[in-house]
Amino acid sequence: MKVTLNQDPEIVKAIKEGLEHTGGYCPCRRERIEDNKCMCKEFKEQIADPEFEGYCHCLLYYKSK
């Protein structure tokens, strides 16, 4: 299992700017709750799933098997 940043530098730049603007909360989510703080609860659960491979909700991270 490996978690990496998206290989597209423009996406990484946009998401990191969004995180800076929101105080670390996923810029793709409306609610500013602890579960949406980057790295979000949803992606942490996906990381724990050995069958999951793919991007987090905002496309910043990618988990490979």
What pLDDT does residue 47 have? 96
Q: How is the chain split into domains, by residue range?
A: 2-64
What are the tokens at 56?
A: 């987090």
In contact, 61 and 6? CB cutoff 8 Å: yes
What pLDDT does residue 65 have? 87
Quote the pTM value.
0.90
> Mind spelling out the 3-state secondary structure of 12-53?
HHHHHHHHHHHCCECCCCCCCCHHHECCCHHHHHHHHCCCCC
For 3, 6, 8, 10, 25, the CA distances from 32, given in Å and listed in that order, are 24, 23, 26, 24, 6
Per residue in 51-62, pLDDT (tens digit) is 999 999 999 999
Q: Compute the average pLDDT of residues 16-40.
A: 96
What pLDDT does residue 12 have? 98
